[in-house]
Structure 1
Amino acid sequence: MRLTIIGSSGSLAGPQSPASSYLLTPDDGSDPVIMDLGPGAMGVLPQVTDPGRAHIVFTHLHADHCLDFPSLLVWRRFHPQLAAKSKHTFVGPDFSAKHLGLASADAPGDVDDFSDSFVIHSWREGVVQSVGAFDFTPVRVIHPTETYALRAVERGTGHTLVFSADTAYCDQLVDLAKGAHTLLCEASWGVSSENAAPDMHMSGPEAAKTATRAGVERLILTHIPPWIDALATVGAAQDHFSGEIDVATPKKTYEF
Structure 2
Amino acid sequence: MWLTVLGGSGGIPAEGVPCSGYLVEHDGFRLLVDPGYGSAVALLRHCRAADVDAVFVTHAHPDHCADLNPLLRMRVMGRETASPLPIYCPTGAVDRVLALEPTASYDEAYELHEFGPDDKFSIDAFAVETRSLPHFTPNAGVRFTIGSRSLTYTGDCGPSDALIELASGTSLLLAEATYLDHVPDEHRGCLSDAASVGQTATKARAERLVLTHLWPGANHDDARRVAGHQYDGRIDVARPRLVVQI
Per the normalisation by structure 2, the TM-score is: 0.94
Structure 1 residues without counterparts, runs of 5 or longer: none
Tell me the distance in 2 between the aligned counterparts of 1:38 and 1:203. Answer: 20
Residue 214 of structure 2 aligns with an amino acid whose one-letter code is I
Pairing 1:199–2:198 present:
no
**Where does residue 18 of structure 1 map in the other structure?**
18
Query: Is residue 65–residue 94 contact of structure 2 (8 Å, CA) maintained in 1?
Result: no
Q: Secondary structure at the match of 1:125?
A: coil
Q: Secondary structure at the match of 1:7?
A: coil
Question: What aligned pairs does 1:222-237 form with structure 2 within 5 A after superposition?
Answer: 222-237=212-227
**Where does residue 42 of structure 1 map in the other structure?**
40
Residue 58 to residue 195, structure 1, CA distance change in 2 (3 Å): same
Query: Of 89, 93, 113, which aligns to 1:121?
Result: 113
CA shift for structure 1 position 136: 1.3
Query: Is residue 160–residue 181 contact of structure 1 (8 Å, CA) maintained in 2?
Result: yes
Structure 2 residues without counterparts, runs of 5 or longer: none
Question: What aligned pairs does 1:1-256 form with structure 2 within 5 A after superposition?
Answer: 1-26=1-26, 28-29=27-28, 31-54=29-52, 55-80=54-79, 82-84=80-82, 86-102=83-99, 104-105=100-101, 110=102, 114-154=106-146, 157-193=147-183, 195=185, 197-256=187-246
Tell me the distance in 1 between the aligned counterparts of 2:238 and 2:123. Answer: 23
Residue 73 of structure 2 aligns with an amino acid whose one-letter code is V
Tell me the distance in 1 between the aligned counterparts of 2:114 and 2:226. Answer: 37
Q: Secondary structure at the match of 1:119?
A: strand
Tell me the distance in 2 between the aligned counterparts of 1:149 and 1:68. Answer: 20
RMSD value over aligned CA atoms?
1.7
Bigger mean CA deviation after superposition, 47-56 or 143-152: 47-56
Residue 186 to residue 195, structure 1, CA distance change in 2 (3 Å): same
Q: Secondary structure at the match of 1:47?
A: coil
Tell me the distance in 2 between the aligned counterparts of 1:62 and 1:112. Answer: 25
CA shift for structure 1 position 65: 0.6
- Deviation per residue, 1:11-59 (Å, 9 max, x gap): 1111131000101010x22x21000111111111011122212210100
Residue 209 to residue 75, structure 1, CA distance change in 2 (3 Å): same
- Deviation per residue, 1:210-248 (Å, 9 max, x gap): 000000110000000113222211111110001111111
Query: Is residue 53–residue 88 contact of structure 1 (8 Å, CA) maintained in 2?
Result: no
Query: Is residue 181–residue 196 contact of structure 2 (8 Å, CA) maintained in 1?
Result: no
Query: Is residue 60–residue 94 contact of structure 2 (8 Å, CA) maintained in 1?
Result: no
Tell me the distance in 2 between the aligned counterparts of 1:62 and 1:227. Answer: 21
Query: Is residue 89–residue 131 contact of structure 1 (8 Å, CA) maintained in 2?
Result: no
Residue 148 of structure 1 aligns with an amino acid whose one-letter code is A
Tell me the distance in 2 between the aligned counterparts of 1:97 and 1:241. Answer: 35
Identity, % of aligned positions: 27
Query: Is residue 97–residue 120 contact of structure 1 (8 Å, CA) maintained in 2?
Result: no
Tell me the distance in 2 between the aligned counterparts of 1:112 and 1:181. Answer: 41
State how many pairs are aligned. 245
Per the normalisation by structure 1, the TM-score is: 0.90
